[in-house]
Amino acid sequence: MKVRVLVRPKEGILDPQGEAVRGALPALGFGGVKTVHVGRLIEMELESADDVDAMCRRLLANPTVEEYEWEVVS
Amino acid sequence: MRIGVTVFPGSNCDRDALHAVELMGAEPVELWHADADLKGSDAVIVPGGFSYGDYLRPGAIARFARVMGPLEDFARDGGPVLGVCNGFQVLCEAHLLPGALLQNTHMRFACDRVRVRVETKETPWTSGCENGEELTLPIAHNEGNYFADPETLARLEDEGRVVLRYLENPNGSANDIAGVCNEGRNVVGVMPHPERVSDPALGSDEGLKILRSVLAEATV
């Protein structure tokens, strides 16, 4: 099966990458962009999704500063 | 005194740290990431660099290296451990130190010499300094922006666990924090590089004040 994990900065954590992108969009003429957050997408092919949550907590995300969600995509 | 220096793929301050240990008058011990023990080290330095290419997050992969098992046991038993730069990031990822190092707020690599204040001499790595003493140390990092939740920050301040503080914040770090210690005070992480100013030939040996502090542990 294929699992997709989305990792992103926790709410309220400063996100310099997101801020830089937010600053760059108006420069290209895209107005009205209020916030941008940049995260990380991780796709894995696995035999079972049993351990995905543990993988997220122990390695894929740093729970101190990041939150994650995951789904089975196929 | 034997002082171990861990070497991960991508570490790049390990040689400097080993050299600094020699200048301190201690015996340098190279600890390969795949080593199963600390080769009798009395203290350990986790040096700077880009362990495992900083893939995923700085320090995230290094914390699962084989040598980290015995290092974590050593740290939990009260052994003196100093993480410098990427080493600080590794110790945070390993939960030996609280918080995390985020990307610098200005999105640029920070390479400079900065003034820092020693906030506590009550650690094995600052015992040779004075409280309030100011040092000039090099920094070189992209993720040096210290973050911890407000409760953790308040606790660090209340318990005097901020070890070094920037006089001018170079990276957006919370409370101008340049270094912290764990609850047991034996594990210290700092973003500035004391090993890069450990020899007059490098322009300064002020970093030795920090590194040499640990020698006092040898008699304890």
| Test the B interface: residue of A5, A10, A62 with most B CBs within 10 Å | A62
Q: State the total domains in chain B.
A: 1
Q: What is the CATH number of the domain that holds A10?
A: 3.30.1280.10
Residue with tokens 């995230």: B60
For B166-186, write each residue's pLDDT tens digit: 999 999 999 999 999 999 999
The answer to whether the CB atoms of B99 and A16 lie below 8 A apart is no
> What would the DSSP string read from start to end of B36-94?
SS-TT-SEEEE--B-GGGG-SSTTTTGGGSTTHHHHHHHHHTT--EEEETHHHHHHHHT
pLDDT of residue A17: 87
CA B113/CA B191 separation, integer angstroms: 12
CA distances from A64 to B33, B36, B43, B95, B162 (A): 25, 28, 28, 10, 18
Confirm or reject contact between B56 and chain A (CB < 8 A): yes
Host domain of residue B129: 2-219
Beta-carbon neighbour count of residue A18 at 10 Å? 17
Host domain of residue A47: 2-72
- Using alpha carbons, select from A68, A10, A58, A56 the residue that is nearest to residue B149: A10
Q: What is the CATH number of the domain that holds B204?
A: 3.40.50.880
> Of the listed B13, B85, B92, B181, which one is catalytic?
B85
**What is the percent of chain B where pLDDT is above 70?**
99
Beta-carbon neighbour count of residue B168 at 10 Å? 9
pLDDT of residue A49: 95
CA B197/CA A60 separation, integer angstroms: 35
* Intervals of chain A under pLDDT 50: none
Task: Point out the residue among B56, B100, B107 whose CB comes nearest to the CB of A64.
Answer: B100
**Residue B193 bears catalytic tag:** yes
* Intervals of chain B under pLDDT 70: 219-220
* Three-class secondary structure of residue B142 per DSSP: coil
Q: Nearest-CA residue of chain A relative to B106?
A: A16
For B37-69, write each residue's pLDDT tens digit: 999 999 999 999 999 999 999 999 999 999 999
* Three-class secondary structure of residue A12 per DSSP: coil
CA A62/CA B88 separation, integer angstroms: 15
Task: Point out the residue among B57, B64, B105 whose CB comes nearest to the CB of A14.
Answer: B105
| Test the A interface: residue of B54, B57, B141 with most A CBs within 10 Å | B57
Task: Point out the residue among B64, B104, B148 whose CB comes nearest to the CB of A16.
Answer: B104
Q: State the total domains in chain A.
A: 1
pLDDT of residue A12: 85
pLDDT of residue B219: 57
pLDDT of residue B120: 98
The answer to whether the CB atoms of B102 and A65 lie below 8 A apart is yes
CA A7/CA A17 separation, integer angstroms: 14
